[in-house]
Amino acid sequence: MLRSGDKMAGRSAAEIKCVKCKKVYECNVIDHIDLSQDRELAKNLKSGKANRVQCPKCKKVQYLDRSIVINFEPENLIVVFDPAAKKKTVREEHERDYKSVIAFNEILEEVGEETDFKIISKLDQLKTLVTDYMKVHE
């Protein structure tokens, strides 16, 4: 359930299958967050509940385990939080995707050289990063 304060987050449509009634429905999910713009989402990130959806049929609420890219601007840090990134193949795929994006042109290559890129699969690590960021940038 996306709130009006979440207007800066990057989103995409996704098909979700309800875990309770098995209805398949489409909803908007968060793919990217810029913490300098999306401070309202910090609390949801820290709780692991950034992608909350609700089945239109049975009203079951689900929190989706999917990757979210978080830009810690102006810290020059980009983090991919993905609970599935415990697997080496998933981590490697995120690395390839990042390298592919920054190789797109010279400007992105320069940004990539100045930016730290991390892949995190543990919610505790994400909580620490977001909490530290919010202390400095509130």
Q: What is the pLDDT of residues 26-84, one digit of tens each?
A: 998 999 999 988 878 888 888 878 888 999 999 999 988 889 999 998 989 999 999 89
Residues in the chain: 138
| Predicted local distance difference test score (pLDDT) of residue 3 | 36
Summarize the confidence of residues 5-10 as an average pLDDT: 54
Q: b/e per residue, 102-115, with b = 16+ CB within 10 A?
A: beeeeeeeeebeeb
Q: For the whole model, what pTM was predicted?
A: 0.80
108-120 per-position pLDDT tens digit: 888 888 899 999 9
By the 8 A CB rule, do 50 and 90 touch?
Answer: no
Cross-strand bridge partners of residue 32:
10, 69
What pLDDT is stored for residue 7 in this prediction?
45
**Cα 63 to Cα 50: distance, rounded to the nearest angstrom:** 8
